[in-house]
């Protein structure tokens, strides 16, 4: 059998920096894919209910024939960006080229002003933005979204309680806002794909016994102060984790191939058996992973990630 390799340099790959992005765990997922997928290099149906930056989706697209995919996320701007790449790739590339070349020509002081100007426009737009009807505004807003993501501090997309994007400027020497070839390849990858803004439970309808499902919900916070689960206005609480577990059990009964990842609460408290209890009937593994979204350098370092599966 031909050996699979992680082709990190190839496209399509994530076009956003996303908290909890799974690029570094791909090697581990690769080892754990269902055998028939590895053998025939084919995924009949793929569902990803917590899409984010889409590291796993793009990995599968780079390495396998993926017949059809159904992608979900609750974040309306994120989903709009995917839909714009799917349907208005050329217009988006024009906008991105324009915003990037303007930005790179500026000195540091003006770049900072430019960042805050775009952030203000972006937050004003948010108040009565029409997410239901695609149009020129979608393309423009998506270019702002990608720009802010690539120039903000730590590359974080974080909203405050009012739903505003409030991350400060990130001071990069030569920020690369986008990669043209990647956007073109993502556009191709999205041709056999349906994309939905909504709660993960809405993906149920698309899941059957042929489906590979990768579930990567927002992390259970590692410490009381870390609040990186706030990708959307409403975080993901333990009661959401319980609803997700029920969803997992139901999809397991349907016969789907399920892979779920999460932070390991034992990193913080060795006695915390939240996920061990919840998923006791399934395969639970602990994989070392580096989380570098934490600002406090001392808190960065080796921690475990959980990978839970319902198949061998």
Ligand X SMILES: C[S@@+](CC[C@H](N)C(=O)[O-])C[C@H]1O[C@@H](n2cnc3c(N)ncnc32)[C@H](O)[C@@H]1O
Which residues lie near ligand X (CB under 6 A)? 18, 20-22, 49-50, 52-55, 72-75, 199-200, 216-218, 231-232, 236
For ligand X, the closer of residues 96 and 159 by Cβ is: 159
For ligand X, the closer of residues 103 and 309 by Cβ is: 309
For ligand X, the closer of residues 189 and 232 by Cβ is: 232
CB of 232 to ligand X, least distance (A): 5
Residue 89 to residues 61, 63, 184, 312, Cα–Cα distance (Å)? 18, 23, 7, 39
Whole-angstrom Cα distance, residue 299 to residue 126?
34
For ligand X, the closer of residues 76 and 170 by Cβ is: 76
Whether 175 and 147 have beta carbons less than 8 Å apart is answered as no
Whether 311 and 209 have beta carbons less than 8 Å apart is answered as no
By beta-carbon distance, which residue lies closest to ligand X?
52
For ligand X, the closer of residues 14 and 115 by Cβ is: 14
CB of 65 to ligand X, least distance (A): 21
CB of 246 to ligand X, least distance (A): 13
Whether 187 and 86 have beta carbons less than 8 Å apart is answered as yes
For ligand X, the closer of residues 12 and 54 by Cβ is: 54
For ligand X, the closer of residues 20 and 119 by Cβ is: 20
CB of 197 to ligand X, least distance (A): 9
For ligand X, the closer of residues 99 and 215 by Cβ is: 215
Task: Provide DSSP, the chain.
Answer: -PPP---TTSSS--SS--TT--GGGHHHHHHTS-HHHHHHTEEEEEEESS-TT-HHHHHHHHHSEEEEEEEEES-HHHHHHHHHHHH-HHHHHHHHHHHHHHHHHS-HHHHHHHHHHHHHHHHHHHTT--SSS-SHHHHHHHHHHHHHHHHBGGG---B-TTS-B-PPB---SS-----HHHHHHHHHHTTTEEEEES-GGGGGGG--TTEEEEE-PPPPPSSSS--TTTTSSS---HHHHHHHHHHHHHHHHHT-EEEEEEE-GGGT-TT--HHHHHTTTSEEEEEEEEE---S-GGG-EEEEEEEEES--
CB of 19 to ligand X, least distance (A): 7
């Amino acid at each position: 059998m031909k050996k699979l390799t992680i082709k990190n340099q190839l496209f399509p790959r994530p076009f956003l920096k996303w908290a909890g992005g799974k690029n570094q765990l791909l090697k581990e997922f690769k080892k754990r894919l269902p055998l028939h997928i590895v053998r025939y290099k084919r995924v009949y149906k793929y569902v990803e209910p917590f899409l984010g930056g889409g590291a796993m989706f793009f990995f599968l697209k780079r390495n396998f024939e993926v017949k059809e995919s159904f992608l979900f996320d609750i974040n309306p701007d994120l989903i709009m960006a995917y839909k714009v790449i799917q349907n208005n790739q050329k217009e988006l590339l024009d906008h991105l080229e324009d915003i990037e070349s303007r930005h790179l020509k500026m000195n540091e002081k003006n770049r900072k002003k430019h960042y805050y100007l775009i952030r203000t426009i972006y937050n004003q737009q948010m108040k009565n933005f029409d997410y239901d009807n695609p149009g020129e505004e979608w393309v423009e807003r998506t270019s702002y979204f990608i720009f802010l993501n690539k120039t903000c501090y730590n590359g974080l997309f974080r909203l405050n309680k009012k739903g505003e994007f409030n991350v400060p400027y990130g001071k990069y020497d030569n920020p690369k806002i986008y990669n043209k070839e990647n956007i073109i390849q993502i556009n191709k990858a999205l041709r056999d794909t349906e994309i939905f803004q909504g709660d993960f439970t809405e993906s149920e309808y698309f899941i059957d016994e042929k489906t590979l499902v990768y579930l990567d919900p927002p992390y259970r916070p590692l410490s009381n102060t870390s609040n990186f689960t706030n990708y959307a206005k409403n975080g993901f609480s333990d009661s959401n984790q319980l609803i997700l577990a029920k969803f997992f059990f139901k999809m397991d009964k349907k016969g789907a191939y399920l892979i779920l990842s999460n932070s390991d609460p034992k990193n913080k408290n060795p006695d915390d058996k939240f996920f061990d209890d919840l998923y006791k009937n399934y395969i639970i593994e602990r994989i070392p992973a580096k989380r570098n979204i934490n600002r406090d350098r001392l808190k960065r370092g080796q921690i475990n990630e959980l990978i839970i599966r319902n198949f061998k």
